[in-house]
Homo-oligomer: A and B are copies of this chain.
Amino acid sequence: MAGHNDKPKAVVLLSGGLDSTTCLALAADQGYECYALTVLYGQRHRAELQAAQRVAAALGVQEHLQMSVNLDAVGGSALTADLEVPKDRDETAMGQGVPITYVPARNTVFLSLALAWAETLEAEHVFIGVNALDYSGYPDCRPEFIMAFENLAALATKMGTEQGRRLKVHAPLIKLSKAQIIQKGVQLGVDYGLTLSCYDPGPDGEPCWSCDSCLLRNKGFAEAGLDDPLLSV
């Protein structure tokens, strides 16, 4: 359903990281009225929320909603439980199996919450910045997962019971490399100095520069031939 200004509404999952920020910029550029949803679920709450708030303000979203869920209660991940975040791994190590930073069912939970908000907003579009290339073996970043969620959404909701309306889950970064994502964002004027990618930030939100996410970010900027503005802060 169209928004106030006849733009189609989209719920955009926004962690404040490099990927979700680029995803939001793309959705806005494609003409959607963007409703940013930040799901707070683990130990990085404060730094993530601050990054997401900076990005949402900079990109001018229609509304920024925060939802909290204590996914840490189920444990099992270095991002929510008291487990060590791996550091300084090479690409071979990163490519092997599902890493300890995988949060059980995280994207399923995120998309479910996005679906709930989309239904209330009567939005037919959800954007998620998942990436199948640099995904470090997370099962819920694959195209077949996104398609299965669309199928579920069609059956799960009031929207889905009404003829001719079906939620579309957009994953525009899914086949891009980190370098391509950065290049696209820079073209759209994204200030990556506002974002936070690190799995293990310091007390003031400063990146560790040695977790998988920091290393992939570094590599992406290097391959894009660009300087990471976070390095000059």
A residues engaging B (CB < 8 A)?
A: 65-71, 73-76, 98, 102-109, 112-113, 115-117, 119-120, 139-140, 142, 144-145, 148-149, 151-158, 160-161
Contact = CB atoms under 8 A, between A and B. Distances in A.
Contact of A155 (B98, B102, B148, B161): B148
B145 A152 contact: yes
13 contacts: A67-B74, A69-B69, A74-B113, A104-B116, A104-B119, A104-B120, A108-B153, A108-B157, A109-B116, A112-B112, A139-B160, A140-B156, A140-B157
Contacts of A119: 74, 76, 104-105
Interface centre among A74, A144, A151, by most chain B C-beta atoms within 10 angstroms, is A74
The SS class assigned to the A binding surface is helix
B112 A109 contact: yes
Contact of A105 (B65, B69, B107, B157): B157
B113 A69 contact: yes
Contacts of A112: 105, 108-109, 112
Contacts of A117: 73-74, 104
A98 B158 contact: yes
Contacts of A69: 67-69, 113
A11 to B, nearest CB: 10
